[in-house]
A and B are shown apart, each in its own frame.
Chain A
């Protein structure tokens, strides 16, 4: 099982760090609806995130998205392990 888990993490890192560079930059269905119906102009951000829009501030190349994606996969996996450990059955 350990090998399989590692494989899935590698695939996830590849998707977030590599395939994500090919992602469409068009607005998603919600934003597109907002453009059409005129409410997307009201959108704002109350929080300044460390990696806004899946990019590393100051890094201006494909590396920016790639690293942000890799970090995101790592953070998601580690955070879920911690939460799952707490929320799961006692050993």
Chain B
């Protein structure tokens, strides 16, 4: 899901960067008000964990393709939307700058997709599902899957708007792959959340909000 340089149009790159800057300014404002210093090392550990997990591409059986975790749904479950944008932005930025994974001119768009839209989609799922009796494991699986498919949908719209390929082809192809990759996201998110809960890796608010 890391978009390289040279594909999207300058207008889309600029729009993505502008939206990301606005949202991240709001994230910083939120954390100035609400982020306890005691939570910072916990979030730092999760950022490091998500970086590590993203390195492990899993094969898609029967296809010469792979997928890997985004981690937006995982972090959003534990910390809520605003803190998650900071975690994911740190990861995505380091990947672009240090490891050349995701283009530097596309950083704004990649942040928008993986650090903002993915956790936003997951957060909406949590808000919808938390009122039902669906078990946490199922809820985080759904949130993981939805976050990946929604992000793929937006990535397709960015391709269409950049006149790279038609909207229809981009949507069809990207969403098809990510419907499968999203299963991996859901399974990994569902597997990690219980361990994170056992380590008390959530901010009090988030847990209360969800149960």
Contact = CB atoms under 8 A, between A and B. Distances in A.
A74 B105 CA distance: 25
A51 B45 contact: no
Interface stretch (B49-57, B115-123, B130-138): B49-57
Contact of A37 (B51, B67, B103, B165): B165
B155 A30 contact: yes
A44 interface: yes
Contacts of B44: 76-78, 80-81, 84
Given A12-B51, A84-B44, A29 B96 contact: no
Contacts of A69: 52, 55
7 contacts: A12-B52, A25-B66, A33-B173, A51-B99, A80-B40, A84-B35, A88-B39
Contact of A87 (B32, B159, B180): B32
A73 B51 CA distance: 6
Contacts, number: 223
Would you call the interface of chain B mostly helix, strand, loop, or mixed? helix
A84 B45 CA distance: 12
Interface in A23-59: 23-30, 32-34, 36-40, 42-54
Would you call the interface of chain A mostly helix, strand, loop, or mixed? helix
B98 A72 contact: yes
A19 B52 CA distance: 9
A22 B155 CA distance: 27
Given A1-B200, A8-B199, A54-B101, A24 B4 contact: no
B4 A44 contact: yes
